[in-house]
């Protein structure tokens, strides 16, 4: 941040506001304080029978790798609405949501993932503009070496484990930077 978006001044510094305990972007001219907070990524683990749906990414990062449909939650929507919107945008998938399934924090990139579990209501899916392919996979067919993000791999592992147990429950945790 180089200029104040309220007054246009270039007197923006990174410093600790009075009464605060961490640095923020502060405008020395008009006094505006800018708070930057984590963002929420919402998505779905879509399933039908013994298969789950994955999308091959048409965009960076991780272009060409497989992921569950997910993206940034938008203002004005609930997390479930956002998850269904992303499933439509990326996979043209229509889904009946069962429940919230996976909540993971990724502190080093300031993200919180909220993934729902949901059943496909029809088979008229296909790639949206951000996907190269959309396919259904049985557990033994999953391209485990080509999964785009650790959060997606963990959620898929939980899903197949829970399927064996016959009990789906919320999974949560923290994914830290690889050391």
Q: Assess contact for 1 and 8: CB atoms under 8 A.
A: no
Residue 16 burial (C-beta neighbours within 10 Å; 0-12, 13-18, 19+):
exposed
Q: How far is the CB of 138 from its own copies (least distance, A)?
A: 29
Residue 27 burial (C-beta neighbours within 10 Å; 0-12, 13-18, 19+):
buried
> Distance between CA atoms of 101 and 47, rounded to whole angstroms?
13
Q: Assess contact for 100 and 118: CB atoms under 8 A.
A: no
Please identify, using beta-carbon distances, which residue of 76 and 166 lies nearer to its own copies.
76
Q: What does the binding site for its own copies look like in residue numbers (CB under 8 A)?
A: 1-8, 10, 12, 19, 22, 35-40, 72-81, 100, 103, 105, 107-108, 110, 112, 114, 129, 170, 172, 174
> Distance between CA atoms of 31 and 124, rounded to whole angstroms?
53
Please identify, using beta-carbon distances, which residue of 23 and 126 lies nearer to its own copies.
23
Q: How far is the CB of 39 from its own copies (least distance, A)?
A: 5
Please identify, using beta-carbon distances, which residue of 9 and 123 lies nearer to its own copies.
9
Please identify, using beta-carbon distances, which residue of 4 and 147 lies nearer to its own copies.
4
Q: How far is the CB of 40 from its own copies (least distance, A)?
A: 6
Q: How far is the CB of 117 from its own copies (least distance, A)?
A: 13
Q: How far is the CB of 179 from its own copies (least distance, A)?
A: 16
Please identify, using beta-carbon distances, which residue of 37 and 60 lies nearer to its own copies.
37
> Distance between CA atoms of 150 and 157, rounded to whole angstroms?
10
């Amino acid at each position: 941040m180089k200029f104040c978006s309220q007054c246009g001044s270039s007197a923006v510094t990174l410093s600790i506001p009075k009464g605060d305990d961490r640095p923020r972007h502060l405008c020395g001219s008009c006094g505006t304080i800018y708070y930057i907070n984590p963002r929420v990524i919402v998505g779905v683990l879509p399933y039908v029978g013994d298969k789950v749906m994955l999308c091959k990414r048409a965009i960076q990062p991780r272009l060409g790798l497989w992921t569950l449909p997910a993206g940034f939650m938008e203002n004005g929507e609930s997390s479930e609405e956002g998850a269904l919107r992303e499933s439509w945008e990326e996979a043209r998938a229509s889904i009946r949501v069962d429940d919230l399934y996976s909540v993971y924090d990724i502190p080093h990139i300031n993200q919180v993932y909220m993934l729902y579990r949901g059943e496909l209501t029809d088979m008229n899916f296909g790639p949206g503009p951000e996907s190269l392919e959309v396919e259904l996979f049985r557990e033994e067919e999953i391209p485990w070496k080509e999964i785009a993000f650790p959060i997606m791999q963990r959620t898929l592992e939980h899903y197949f484990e829970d399927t064996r147990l016959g009990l789906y429950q919320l999974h949560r945790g923290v994914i830290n930077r690889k050391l």
